[in-house]
Amino acid sequence: MLPYARSSSAVLRSTLATIACTVLLSGQAHAVPSTEFTLSGLVKTPGTYDLAKLKAFPSPVTQTDSYTAGGVPTTRTFTGVPLYTLLTDPIYGGGGIVVTPGVKNDFLGDAVLVTGTDAYRSVVSEGEIDPNFGNKQDLVAYQNAPGVNLGSDGFARLTAPGDVAGGRYVSNVASISLFSGSAFSQIPGIGPTGTISSQFALAGQVHNPGTFDRAALAAMPQDSVTVAGGTCSGVSLWAFLQSAGIITDPLVKNDILGKFLVATGSDGYRAVIALGEIAPNFGDQKDLIAIDLNGTGKVGGGPNGDANGFARLVIPGDIRAGRYVSNLIGLEVYSAPAPVPVPAAVVLFGTGLVALVGIARRKIKG
């Protein structure tokens, strides 16, 4: 499994991650102030960022966020670089997301893992921060106010505007890594044109995996959301996962924030949702496994509504419907992989290992 792979260079970085992370993570987990972080994974220009490089990005964004911290209501102002800009703007040092030509919206199967110096982790889906979809302006913040640095939170901190609690506000950022959540999927699509789905499988890190059809979903507590096409009814995605029992490590603080969901359609189309995006204590997004639209008994509109299958993943609030996975055949829960090593380490290790890696490439169907 190569969660970072979309090119031969990405395969190399992913292979080296196993070696480097063993060294980097054995004996870490000390909350020390950060002075730089690495950007790695499925980006065209990985690199290392310090305060000067972040301030070099033009048009810094200032936002005021309200959330609870330790149960206490908190309001803070942050200035920084939008996380999406950091990933996509190569002119000022941003990474530039690696995409697979010919695969529709393959980047919606990606996610970002942000890790602090104490190994605290949080996942943000690409679709959540993409301006065409979720359009959330998470920042890599470097100031609390003009001229006021973050202090004990390090030189950079992730923000999550709109979250109920501050768990996804990762302080002392040490690494930001873009990976392919789709690459984890063990549920293959049926073909390029797919088929009308009649059931889907729940798999991955849940206590009670299984197969679900319309009758099984209809027997569960029903919820509804209003989207551009009207009112969708079905089962809350979060409630569904809770009933299945998400596997978490009680020794890892907010372990749920390091996990993500892969939704797969019968044609192999995939989208990734960060669990922190839908957890009520954090993003509280009301994603729905829809089994009805506007009381029609279909999940799609018009005379061809049945073509969308018996169930469809619906993401309320998204600008475009790219994460609305029709003909649902799979939902899988996984933990984010360890970040790839810093670029300097890649060069050092790569000299001796490149012959072992070759030009392997893993293409993701979509």
Output the furthest CA–CA distance in the chain (Å, rounded). Answer: 62
d(CA 156, CA 51) in angstroms, rounded, equals: 8
Q: Is it the case that residue 191 has pLDDT exceeding 80?
A: no
Domains by residue range for the chain, with CATH? 8-183+338-357 (3.90.420.10), 186-335 (3.90.420.10)
pLDDT digits (tens, 9 = 90+) for 17-57: 333 333 344 334 556 899 999 999 999 999 999 999 999 99
Other C-beta atoms lying within 10 Å of the C-beta of residue 272: 28
pLDDT score at 4: 62
d(CA 273, CA 144) in angstroms, rounded, equals: 29
Minimum mean pLDDT among 93-107, 161-175, 273-287: which range? 93-107
pLDDT digits (tens, 9 = 90+) for 283-316: 999 999 999 999 999 998 877 778 999 999 999 9
pLDDT digits (tens, 9 = 90+) for 250-267: 999 999 999 999 999 999
d(CA 160, CA 359) in angstroms, rounded, equals: 37
* Contact status, residue 358 vs residue 9, Cβ threshold 8 Å: no
By 3-state DSSP, what share of the chain in percent is helix, strand and coil, each rounded to 5?
Answer: 25, 30, 45
